[in-house]
Structure 1
């Protein structure tokens, strides 16, 4: 009979002992898990099963600001972003040459923002809306306050009003209706004394509404042709103007979608924080500008053209 080999027997014993220890630990872990699950079930919590690829929850969003998001903010606030907001076929050279105003001009008055909102709420394309705005805000029309629009309601020798002629020059759609509704807007501003200084500040509207968004909406929607879409556009834009700070921080649903498309969070507070961290000297103004330019880029379908961060 061959001699016993104690070394091999000892190795098997050690392995068996280690295996039992591992099994014991696994059983204890399972018992701990069951105990934890039962406690959670009694307290109303969800029962947790063993971790798996399917059951693993996605990581929570970090509270740390992404540097790429700040870079996107900086790009949107730069002159280079404007080329992505304009229609590809839009010729703005004649307005640039004489420093004319357009939809993205940085210093529009509250009245000019309201005019933009009324035009863009019409069922027309973004390109036609921008072209109409550039047409009426510049020579020879200069509809920068309500009075010129009222004056343009008089018929000329051809039997047409100057308002309609302006719409024809803009080559927009729904010309008659748009001309009529812009006239109604101007009449309301005058009759309600919403622009008492006649400088486009809409100081009377701000006073009448006490700076409350709900009241601004109620008062404006009394005007024919002004609905929720027009008011959303106006509030989104005018919140960047001095004196209208009580309206912010406001992001409408359409702009929220656009922000996400360009790589930013859709939440107003998150966008505000990014603008602050970008080094902005006027956070409220730049907040409104980021919203408008994000929407412009998204409407043009050019979000992929934003330079890589």
Structure 2
């Protein structure tokens, strides 16, 4: 199997972005989908399984918390109940508090609109990372999750691949370098490819693809 064949197989079987799975239409580049994506990054940063974090992020949407303003109207008990109901049980109380600090920062510093963070970063990846890590609960992992997805609509951050994606690429015999991977996949497919690499790793599917 050639590298191009492998990439085609990855895209066919696992090439769904996490934003797409969440139902956050970030292609619109509007505040609500971007907010939902950052909430997913926060929830995935906790020591829980990725599918549980996704369920919790979806549950936030089902609760109507699709904007910072709507989340601000929730109570701590409501947040705990929603997270707990999604299976996010071990860290539900901590996250119910943490996500409000996170939300307050978004409202106070960016008026609830992450496009202002984009403007602040002015195309510089490291500046964007630092700004994301100022949110309560967002560290290197959370910032990387957001950046690898949002590059689809913030092309000045392309090509970006996080450690999880590059580790999987290396094990599959693909370049462990974002720029080299991007040349193989093309800009349009690159966000889907990095998502596919992460999904293969999460699924423990690397050996099957390598064979």
Structure-1-length-normalised TM-score: 0.59
1:73 corresponding residue in structure 2: 7
- Equivalenced residues, count: 204
Are residues 1:204 and 2:116 paired?
Answer: yes
| Cα pair 1:251 1:268 within 8 Å, conserved | yes
1:169 corresponding residue in structure 2: 85
| CA distance in structure 2 between the partners assigned to 1:230 and 1:207 by the alignment | 20
State which of 191, 199, 205 in structure 2 corresponds to 1:302: 205
- Could you list the runs of 5+ residues in structure 1 that have no partner in the other structure? 1-66, 87-99, 197-201, 277-282
Tell me the alpha carbon deviations over residues 56-111 of structure 1, each in whole angstroms, 9 at most, x when there is no partner. xxxxxxxxxxx622122222222x3369x99xxxxxxxxxxxxx9634x5834332
Are residues 1:126 and 2:126 paired?
Answer: no
Runs of 4+ with >6 A deviation: none
Aligned pairs for 1:1-309 within 5 A: 68-78=2-12, 80-81=13-14, 102-103=21-22, 105=23, 107-108=25-26, 109-137=33-61, 139=62, 141-152=63-74, 154=75, 160=77, 162-172=78-88, 173-196=90-113, 202-241=114-153, 244-276=154-186, 283-284=187-188, 286-306=189-209
| CA distance in structure 2 between the partners assigned to 1:183 and 1:290 by the alignment | 32
| CA distance in structure 1 between the partners assigned to 2:15 and 2:158 by the alignment | 24
Q: Secondary structure of the residue that 1:240 maps to in structure 2?
A: coil
135 and 261 in structure 1: CA distance in 2 versus 1, 3 angstrom threshold: farther
| Cα pair 1:120 1:230 within 8 Å, conserved | yes
| Cα pair 1:262 1:294 within 8 Å, conserved | no
107 and 265 in structure 1: CA distance in 2 versus 1, 3 angstrom threshold: farther
106 and 112 in structure 1: CA distance in 2 versus 1, 3 angstrom threshold: closer
Q: Secondary structure of the residue that 1:214 maps to in structure 2?
A: helix
By relative contact order (CA 8 Å, sep 6+), the higher-ranking structure is: 2
Structure-2-length-normalised TM-score: 0.83
| Structure of larger gyration radius | 1
| CA distance in structure 2 between the partners assigned to 1:77 and 1:130 by the alignment | 20
- Could you list the runs of 5+ residues in structure 2 that have no partner in the other structure? 27-32
Q: Secondary structure of the residue that 1:254 maps to in structure 2?
A: helix
| Cα pair 2:14 2:196 within 8 Å, conserved | yes
Structure (1/2) with the larger helix percentage = 2
239 and 267 in structure 1: CA distance in 2 versus 1, 3 angstrom threshold: same
